[in-house]
């Protein structure tokens, strides 16, 4: 086995094999798989960052509404319901508040005005088993 000209070291088995093949080593077999995996990971992280920024912007807007209207809570509820539709990608939403005893309608977004009239006439009311809100309310009270 020949020694390296500059260092005088003997080549190891891998280097000797590489030298016999003409010095070129094989490219990594999984290079494209690793690149695709990294691209997928980068795309996922980008989506998560965009979602986090959207949530942060919504929170910021709600806090601005809170500070601008400390006495009247309606603009705050309107902002909350609008941002809920946006963040959840839903077609419509309703916000209710619970005072410990009764459910009160607070705001709606993308709901027909006649339905809002129905909600205003029906609420406030005690939560009961027939309401979807009842099962949601159990988790938060």
Region 33-37 average pLDDT = 65
Q: What is the pLDDT of residue 13?
A: 57
How many structural domains compose the chain?
1
Q: Is residue 24 part of a domain?
A: no
Q: Is residue 44 part of a domain?
A: yes
CA-nearest of 109, 103, 98 to 58 is 109
Q: Is residue 61 part of a domain?
A: yes
Q: Is residue 27 part of a domain?
A: no
**Cis peptide bond N-terminal to 59, omega within 30:** no
pLDDT digits (tens, 9 = 90+) for 85-121: 998 899 999 999 888 888 899 999 999 999 999 999 9
Q: Is residue 133 part of a domain?
A: yes
Q: What is the pLDDT of residue 98?
A: 85
Phi then psi for residue 8, to 5 deg, are: 80, 5
Predicted structure pTM score = 0.50
Q: Is residue 22 part of a domain?
A: no
Q: Is residue 11 part of a domain?
A: no
Can you tell me whether residue 99 is helix, strand or coil?
coil
Q: Taking a C-beta distance cutoff of 8 angstroms, is the pair 84, 90 a contact?
A: yes
Q: How many alpha carbons fall within 13 Å on the CB side of residue 133? A: 17
Higher pLDDT, 48 or 140: 48
Q: What is the pLDDT of residue 35?
A: 67
Higher pLDDT, 126 or 137: 126
Neighbours of 9 (CB within 10 A): 9
Q: Is residue 116 part of a domain?
A: yes
Residue range of the domain that includes 57: 33-140
Q: What is the pLDDT of residue 108?
A: 95
């Amino acid at each position: 086995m020949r020694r390296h000209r500059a260092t005088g070291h003997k080549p190891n088995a891998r280097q000797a094999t590489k030298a016999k093949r003409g010095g070129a080593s094989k490219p990594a077999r999984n290079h494209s798989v690793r690149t695709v995996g990294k691209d997928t990971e980068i795309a996922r992280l980008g989506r998560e960052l965009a979602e986090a920024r959207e949530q942060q912007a919504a929170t910021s807007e709600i806090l601005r509404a809170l500070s601008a209207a400390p006495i009247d809570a309606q603009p705050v509820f309107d902002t909350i319901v609008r941002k809920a539709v946006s963040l959840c990608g839903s077609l419509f939403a309703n916000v209710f508040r619970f005072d410990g005893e009764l459910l009160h309608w607070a705001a709606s977004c993308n709901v027909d005005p006649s339905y809002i009239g129905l909600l205003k006439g029906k609420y406030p009311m005690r939560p009961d088993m027939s309401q979807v809100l009842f099962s949601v309310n159990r988790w938060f009270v």
